[in-house]
Amino acid sequence: MELPQQLKERLYIFLGAPGSGKGTQTLLLADKLRLTRIEMSKLLEERFLNAEPGEYVESEGKKYYVADQQKLWESGVLNETPFVVDTVRARLKRLKREEQSILLDGFPRAISQMEYLMPFALESFGKENIIVLYLDVDEEDTIFRNSHRRICELVRHPILYIKETEQLTLCPLDGSKLITRSFDTPELITTRLATFRKETFPLLEYFEEQGIPVHRISATGSVSEVFSRINTIAQGV
């Protein structure tokens, strides 16, 4: 089936705090609207894996070696903006040639990144085809849900904390034991939320200043309730 014209060649940017359920929802949305989803962390890993020896990105006379960026990545530090943006831009260019609509998950993380990408995004997609969705969570709710989230021991299947799974002790898919991940402590979740608030949240105002409306969606409720809100908005814009 041919997609309606208005669903062609759009750039969806999906923002949400850690623990908002963003990963699950972007998968569902990409599937529903047949968008190509770019998961930023996976894209970077791929670039490190496929880099030629000595490969670098040059921006304003400065060289950013892929090998150095890989070291930053492995130590958990944010990569430098010109490198991240070059990586995402190269992938967007390729997909754009194939006339695909794209969903970005995990990019941008800060205003500086988006400022860098904006000229390309405006030229390639046009302002009216950049759709920004923001999944809005209650902080206490997300701390609670994330510190109660579990994975299975065998395959690491994520088990969301919802009333249907509350009583589960074994993975419904493989029967292995459910465990809590070491970085899902309330303290670490609070730190990740603080970083989001400081670095990523100001992007909402930035987009609005650029004349790109931000569609705010409540993340409260079950996966299907939240998705139905997102779908309504994504189809309506």
Binding residues for Zn ion (CB under 5 A): 152, 155, 157, 171, 173-174
Minimum distance, C-beta of residue 148 to Zn ion, in the bound complex (Å): 17
Q: Which CB sits closer to Zn ion, 122 or 178?
A: 178
Q: Which CB sits closer to Zn ion, 159 or 203?
A: 159
Q: Which CB sits closer to Zn ion, 24 or 59?
A: 24
> How many Å apart are CA 183 and CA 143, to the nearest integer?
12
Q: Which CB sits closer to Zn ion, 172 or 186?
A: 172
Q: Could you give phi then psi for residue 14, rounded to 5 degrees?
A: -115, 115
Minimum distance, C-beta of residue 161 to Zn ion, in the bound complex (Å): 16
Minimum distance, C-beta of residue 157 to Zn ion, in the bound complex (Å): 3
Minimum distance, C-beta of residue 169 to Zn ion, in the bound complex (Å): 12
> How many Å apart are CA 130 and CA 137, to the nearest integer?
23
Minimum distance, C-beta of residue 174 to Zn ion, in the bound complex (Å): 4
Residue 217 contacts residue 201 (beta carbons within 8 Å): no
Q: Which CB sits closer to Zn ion, 92 or 152?
A: 152
Q: Which CB sits closer to Zn ion, 3 or 168?
A: 168
Minimum distance, C-beta of residue 21 to Zn ion, in the bound complex (Å): 19
Q: Is 140 exposed, middle or buried (0-12, 13-18, 19+ CB in 10 A)?
A: exposed
Q: Distances in Å between the alpha carbon of 138 and those of 69, 88, 114, 181, 187? A: 34, 30, 25, 22, 16
Characterise 57 by phi-psi region: left (phi > 0), alpha (psi -120 to 50), beta (else). beta
> How many Å apart are CA 160 and CA 194, to the nearest integer?
22
Cβ-proximal residues to 171 (8 Å cutoff; 6+ apart), any chain: 152, 153, 154, 155, 157, 159, 177, 178
